[in-house]
Amino acid sequence: MLSSLKHIHVTCAIIERDGLVLAAQRSAAMSLPLKWEFPGGKIDPGESPEECLWRELVEEMAVHVRVGQSLPVSTHQYSTFAITLYPFLCTIESGEIILHEHAAITWLPPDELHTLDWAEADLPVIASYRAGRGAGSR
């Protein structure tokens, strides 16, 4: 069954600043309208996940990031497609956020991320991020 579905490979950035994490709200015109997500985008052929994430954040938010540690890759199957997310911890190195694709952003403490209406594929990423922050690992 999985093989008949479109399967996309997407990077996502967990951007940390001053103890907070960036969440971006999808625009009403995007698929999964108004759901919250970690910003990122589809990996182009021949592009590494890190290169993709750097390019997408310049395109979507006009910021240059430092792509840091990767988190566990996660695959989610929606009714019409499957998505594999490649999450990375990131920090903004330069630029001010300008929203080119998203409706809104918010900065939240990690323990409040669950309060937003997230795209389902991002939920395991939040769980692994929060689990990794325990026991003073960061």
Tens digit of pLDDT for each residue in 75-133? 999 999 999 999 999 999 999 999 999 999 999 999 999 999 999 999 999 999 999 87
Q: 22 near 39, Cβ under 8 Å?
A: yes
Q: 108 near 21, Cβ under 8 Å?
A: yes
Check pLDDT > 50 for residue 68.
yes
Residue 19, judged by CB atoms within 10 A of its CB (0-12, 13-18, 19+), counts as exposed
Give the CATH class of 2-129.
alpha beta
Q: What are the sequence ranges of the domains in the chain?
A: 2-129
- Taking the model in full, what pTM does it have? 0.90
